[in-house]
Every structure is written in structure tokens, then in C-alpha cells.
């Protein structure tokens, strides 16, 4: 019997730290290698994962599991922060990086909501964060690992889903595949849903496959009931995640986003959406990842805009 305490580590996974001049901050970059060694000269798809502090292990396991079922072997690259967990300084930094506009009221209250009352959030940093990914992180990864620069996937959930949606709408060519779960499209009073100028033009050719997901318990009526029943200590945090009308339109926005993308009739764009029964914001991500990775990397056939 041993009493030594050691930390567990993911197999065939390494950690790098990369300082961004675009953002002015340091990122913890976690890289999971494919489960098999690639033949000489062979390159593999690369999956970039937001919120890696909490989500990296789950995503990398599902991608690796998919490769055992016939999906491509891929590198998984997690983008995280030195802070561990979510309700820490990482919450402040993700709120900065994943939001396309400044919300002063969120800046003022976000630190207290995260349990860091002396900290102030600075929102609206999505453009700088995207420059970090494109100009710094992707070249860093492509110079060190045999990844296919023409087969990049972006995975985002909640505020990470907001960032992924913003990239998809404003610069769809940035990634070949998008997995977007429960995106916080309530941000800045439903900004992305109410500003057509952000969206790509009708008929624009876009080579991308998109999987959109949310839980059926993320509809406004169900979320309101859960917020009202939540303990008083966490109720202000939950109430912050809504538009100015007080609506929590997570599932509704996913349905609308899928419908509007389909109506744009963009050649090369394949969109699949799924609302998962009996799943909430806290529980839907594993199901969305499992179904979404299969949809994005499965046979390259046309898919309906909604399921």
C-alpha cells in the first residue's frame, strides 16, 4: 500500500504556455495527440477547444473515441488559462475573450457574480482573441505538430458558443467545422441575432460544416422556472444570462440560427441542429459533443438544417 499523492495526467497529452501579443495575456495550451502514430508525411485534422480548463478532457476523450468508430484521428488543442476551474480568474478572462462587444453592466457585476467581488471584467475582446488564434496559436501548432491547416474545427459552449457563432457569422472561412453548443446569443441584447450586417451574404459560398445544439430544458420558460427556484446565492448569476427583456432564449436561438443559416442558401455550408430532450445547460454538452463530432466528421453528405 502506498500513501504517495500524484496527479493524474491524460495519456499522450502535453501542455505548452503561449503569451499573446494580440491579447496581452498568457494561455495554457493543451495538446492531445491522436491515439495512433501518423505515417510519415501524414497530417491530421485539428480540433480547437474553448474553455479548456473545464472541457478539454471531455472533448479529447470523445474525439479519440470517435476515431475508434471510424472517424478521423485528430489532434485536440485546448485553449485555457493558468487559473483552474471556471468560477475563478478564468471566468473573468473567458468573459473578456469570448464576447464581441462591451457590456458595461456585465463588466461591473461579473466579478461579484463569479465570487471575485474585487475583480472587474473587461468584455468585448473577441476580435483580439480571434487574432491570437489566427496569427499566433495556429502558426504555433502547425509549426510543431503534423496538423492539417485546411481542416480546423472550433468547439465552443455557452460564452464559448457565442464566440464560435460570432466567428461563423463574421468570418466563416476561419474554420472548416464548427461545433456550437448552447451559445449565449442573449449577449448584448441578442446582438448577433438582430444585426444582419454581421451575417454573411445570401448565396455566399462557404465551405464549412456546422453542428448546433442545445437542451430542451434551455427554453425561456424552463430556465425562468429554474432560476426562480435556485438558491438565493446563485440566483443573481443565473439572472445575468439573459437579454434586456429578461428572456433566456438558448434553445430558441439555436433553432432560429439554424433556420436563418439555411435560408441564406450558401453553397458549401452544411448545417445540422439538434435540441436534446431532458437536457439542461449543465447537462447537454456531453451529448452535443458525441452527436456533433459524428455529424462533423462523418460522411460528407448533405444534412437537413434541423433535426
- In this prediction, residue 128 has a pLDDT band, given cuts at 50, 70 and 90, of very high
Where in the sequence is the domain holding 132, given as residue range(s)?
A: 13-217+251-297
DSSP state of 218: G
Signed CA dihedral, 240, 244, 246, 248: sign only? negative
Interior CA angle at 78 toward 75 and 80, to 5°?
165
> Is residue 307 assigned to a domain?
no
- What pLDDT was estimated at residue 197? 79
- Identify whether the C-beta of residue 150 lies closer than 8 Å to the C-beta of residue 182: no
Residues 6+ apart with CB under 8 A from 199: 169, 260, 264
pLDDT digits (tens, 9 = 90+) for 42-52: 999 999 999 99
> Is residue 17 assigned to a domain?
yes
Q: Side-chain half-sphere of 282: how many Cα atoms within 13 Å?
A: 4
pLDDT digits (tens, 9 = 90+) for 249-259: 899 999 999 99
> Is residue 226 assigned to a domain?
no
Examine the pLDDT at 125 and tell me if it is beyond 90: yes
- Identify whether the C-beta of residue 38 lies closer than 8 Å to the C-beta of residue 12: no
- In this prediction, residue 242 has a pLDDT band, given cuts at 50, 70 and 90, of confident
DSSP state of 41: T
> Is residue 237 assigned to a domain?
no
Examine the pLDDT at 117 and tell me if it is beyond 90: no
Of residues 138 and 3, more confidence is placed in: 138
- What pLDDT was estimated at residue 89? 73
- Identify whether the C-beta of residue 124 lies closer than 8 Å to the C-beta of residue 101: yes
Tell me how far apart the alpha carbons of residues 44 and 59 are, in angstroms, rounded to a whole number.
16
> Is residue 180 assigned to a domain?
yes
Rg, the chain, Cα only: 19
CB atoms under 10 Å from CB of 19, counted, come to 11
Q: Ramachandran region of residue 272, left (φ > 0), alpha (ψ -120 to 50) or beta?
A: beta
pTM exceeding the 0.85 threshold for the entire prediction: yes
Specify which of 94-108, 138-152, 293-307 reaches the highest per-range mean pLDDT.
138-152
Q: Side-chain half-sphere of 62: how many Cα atoms within 13 Å?
A: 21
- What pLDDT was estimated at residue 253? 96
> Is residue 244 assigned to a domain?
no
DSSP string covering 133-193: IIIIIHHHHHHHS-EEEEEEEEEEETHHHHHHHHHHHH-GGG-SEEEEES--TTHHHHHHH
> Is residue 89 assigned to a domain?
yes
Of residues 161 and 233, more confidence is placed in: 161
CATH number of residue 115's parent domain? 3.40.50.1820
> Is residue 165 assigned to a domain?
yes
Of residues 227 and 2, more confidence is placed in: 227
Q: Ramachandran region of residue 287, left (φ > 0), alpha (ψ -120 to 50) or beta?
A: alpha
- What pLDDT was estimated at residue 30? 97
- What's the structural domain count of the chain? 1
- What pLDDT was estimated at residue 109? 59
pLDDT digits (tens, 9 = 90+) for 146-188: 999 999 999 999 999 999 999 999 999 999 999 999 999 999 9
Examine the pLDDT at 83 and tell me if it is beyond 50: yes
pLDDT digits (tens, 9 = 90+) for 189-230: 999 998 877 888 888 888 999 999 999 999 999 888 888 887
Amino acid at each position: 500500500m502506498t500513501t504517495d499523492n500524484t496527479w493524474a495526467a491524460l495519456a499522450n497529452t502535453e501542455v505548452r504556455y503561449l503569451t499573446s501579443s494580440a491579447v496581452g495575456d498568457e494561455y495554457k495550451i493543451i495538446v492531445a495527440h491522436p491515439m495512433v502514430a501518423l505515417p510519415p508525411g501524414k497530417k491530421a485534422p485539428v480540433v480547437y477547444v474553448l474553455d479548456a480548463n473545464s472541457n478539454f478532457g471531455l472533448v479529447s476523450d470523445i474525439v479519440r473515441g470517435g476515431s475508434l468508430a471510424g472517424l478521423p484521428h485528430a489532434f485536440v488543442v485546448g485553449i485555457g488559462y493558468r487559473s483552474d476551474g471556471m468560477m475563478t480568474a478564468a471566468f473573468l478572462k473567458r468573459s473578456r475573450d469570448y464576447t464581441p462587444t462591451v457590456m458595461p453592466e456585465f463588466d461591473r457585476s461579473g466579478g461579484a457574480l463569479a465570487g471575485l467581488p474585487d475583480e472587474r471584467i473587461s468584455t468585448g475582446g473577441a476580435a483580439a482573441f480571434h487574432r491570437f488564434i489566427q496569427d499566433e496559436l495556429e502558426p504555433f501548432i502547425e509549426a510543431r505538430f503534423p496538423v492539417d491547416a485546411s481542416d480546423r474545427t472550433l468547439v465552443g459552449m455557452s460564452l464559448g458558443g457565442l464566440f464560435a457563432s460570432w466567428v461563423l457569422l463574421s468570418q466563416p472561412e476561419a474554420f472548416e467545422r464548427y461545433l456550437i453548443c448552447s451559445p449565449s446569443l442573449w449577449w448584448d441584447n441578442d446582438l448577433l441575432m438582430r444585426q444582419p450586417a454581421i451575417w454573411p451574404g445570401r448565396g455566399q459560398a462557404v465551405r464549412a460544416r456546422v453542428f448546433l445544439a442545445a437542451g430542451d430544458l434551455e427554453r425561456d420558460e424552463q430556465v425562468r422556472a429554474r432560476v426562480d427556484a435556485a438558491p438565493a446565492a446563485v440566483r443573481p448569476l443565473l439572472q445575468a444570462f439573459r437579454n434586456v427583456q429578461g428572456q433566456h432564449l438558448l434553445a430558441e436561438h439555436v433553432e432560429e440560427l439554424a433556420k436563418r443559416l439555411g435560408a441564406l442558401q450558401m453553397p458549401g455550408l452544411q448545417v445540422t441542429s439538434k435540441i436534446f430532450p431532458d437536457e439542461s445547460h449543465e447537462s447537454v454538452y456531453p451529448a452535443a459533443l458525441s452527436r456533433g463530432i459524428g455529424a462533423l466528421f462523418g460522411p460528407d453528405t448533405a444534412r437537413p438544417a434541423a433535426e
